[in-house]
């Protein structure tokens, strides 16, 4: 199935909605779109209703924001769920920035979520230096476009073996970044720079949770994700060999199987 544009709260949002069964909401990372979840969408829509939007400004979703906070993205997701017939709660599955959004979603829309899957993300806020770099990159992308970001990010997003042997996914991801709106990229960079440290909220998460990390992720390391997993009372942990930050694209079967097994062992009531 192909995604389609839906008007939600007056704004066009591109949403893929495929399959039937308990709903899984896939939330993409920065500065990407819903297609990063294409393998999981294809495989899991045999048993689940898979909903995968482009976040505001990304893909073909509209935005005119100068800054988009993680809370705003989370509120957008809540509006999408409320506008989707037959869905009252979701399993939220977010990667990296999708995880930052998930923390805000948990705080502000707990009635809409029943299980949580977090891939390659952080609970901590940015350091002062990282924040400064984000603000500089936001200005730069508005002046120059996203090419410098796309060039700089590939080595961080993928494991060494994916960079050498999986040029297809590396090139596809680069194209998604090159096609992203500079304004949306700048808005998300400013929003991420100002996100809160969510570490102290982890112990209060009561939902069944699965933490997934590519073993070679250099942006959000295995150690950091393992610490998150140990801080959440009801969390399972899956480290994916031969994968970096983009584990769902690099090792699709391993990630899909881990999600499917988690959903099977934690059924909805
Ligand atoms: C992502 O994949 O969403 C980014 O790495 C998040 C970030 O820049 O912190």
Q: Whose CA is nearest to atom 4 of ligand 1?
A: 30
Please tell me the predicted confidence (pLDDT) of residue 46: 98
Calculate how far, in angstroms, residue 21's C-alpha sits from the geometric centre of ligand 1: 30
The answer to the question of residue 36 being in a domain is yes
pLDDT tens digits for range 216-265: 999 999 999 999 999 999 899 999 999 999 999 999 999 999 999 999 99
The answer to the question of residue 268 being in a domain is no
Q: Whose CA is nearest to atom 9 of ligand 1?
A: 97
CA atoms within 13 Å, Cβ hemisphere of 137: 24
Domain that holds residue 181: 4-262
Q: Whose CA is nearest to atom 7 of ligand 1?
A: 97
The answer to the question of residue 267 being in a domain is no
Please tell me the predicted confidence (pLDDT) of residue 269: 73
The answer to the question of residue 103 being in a domain is yes
Atom number in ligand 1 closest to CA 220: 5
Calculate how far, in angstroms, residue 122's C-alpha sits from the geometric centre of ligand 1: 9
pLDDT tens digits for range 58-109: 999 999 999 999 999 999 999 999 999 999 999 999 999 999 999 999 999 9
The answer to the question of residue 179 being in a domain is yes
CATH code of the domain containing 44 = 3.40.50.1820
Cβ–Cβ < 8 Å for 235, 210:
yes
Residues 131-143: what's their mean pLDDT?
98
Residues 175-184: what's their mean pLDDT?
98
Q: Which of 252, 259, 251, 255 is nearest to 210 (CA)?
A: 259
* CA–CA separation, 142 and 189 (whole Å): 11
State the total domains in the chain.
1
pLDDT tens digits for range 33-47: 999 999 999 999 999
pLDDT tens digits for range 205-216: 999 999 999 999
The answer to the question of residue 269 being in a domain is no
Query: How crowded is residue 55: how many other Cβ atoms within 10 Å of its Cβ?
Result: 28
CA atoms within 13 Å, Cβ hemisphere of 114: 15
The answer to the question of residue 172 being in a domain is yes
The answer to the question of residue 225 being in a domain is yes
Mean pLDDT of all residues belonging to the chain:
97
Most informative mutation of 177, 192, 194, 246 for ligand 1 (most atoms within 8 A of CB) = 192
Calculate how far, in angstroms, residue 95's C-alpha sits from the geometric centre of ligand 1: 8
Atom number in ligand 1 closest to CA 153: 5
């Amino acid at each position: 199935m192909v995604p389609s544009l839906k008007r939600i709260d007056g704004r066009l949002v591109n949403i893929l909605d495929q399959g039937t069964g308990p709903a899984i909401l896939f939330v993409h990372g920065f500065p990407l779109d819903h297609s990063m979840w294409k393998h999981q969408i294809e495989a899991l829509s045999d048993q689940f209703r898979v909903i995968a939007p482009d976040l505001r400004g990304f893909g073909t979703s509209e935005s005119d924001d100068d800054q988009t906070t993680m809370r705003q993205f989370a509120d957008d997701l809540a509006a999408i769920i409320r506008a989707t017939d037959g869905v009252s709660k979701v399993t939220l599955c977010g990667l990296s920035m999708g995880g930052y959004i998930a923390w805000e979603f948990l705080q502000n829309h707990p009635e809409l979520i029943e299980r949580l899957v977090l891939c390659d993300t952080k609970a901590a806020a940015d350091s002062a230096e990282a924040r400064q770099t984000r603000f500089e990159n936001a200005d730069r992308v508005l002046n120059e476009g996203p090419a410098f970001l796309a060039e700089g990010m590939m080595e961080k997003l993928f494991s060494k073996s994916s960079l050498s042997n999986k040029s297809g996914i590396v090139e596809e991801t680069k194209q998604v970044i090159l096609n992203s709106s500079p304004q949306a990229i700048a808005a998300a960079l400013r929003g991420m720079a100002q996100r809160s440290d969510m570490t102290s909220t982890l112990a209060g998460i009561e939902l069944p949770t699965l933490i997934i990390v590519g073993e070679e992720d250099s942006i959000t390391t295995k150690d950091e994700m393992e610490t998150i997993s140990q801080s959440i009372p009801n969390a399972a942990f899956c480290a994916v060999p031969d994968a970096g930050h983009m584990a769902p694209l690099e090792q699709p079967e391993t990630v899909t199987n881990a999600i499917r097994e988690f959903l099977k062992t934690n059924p909805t009531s």
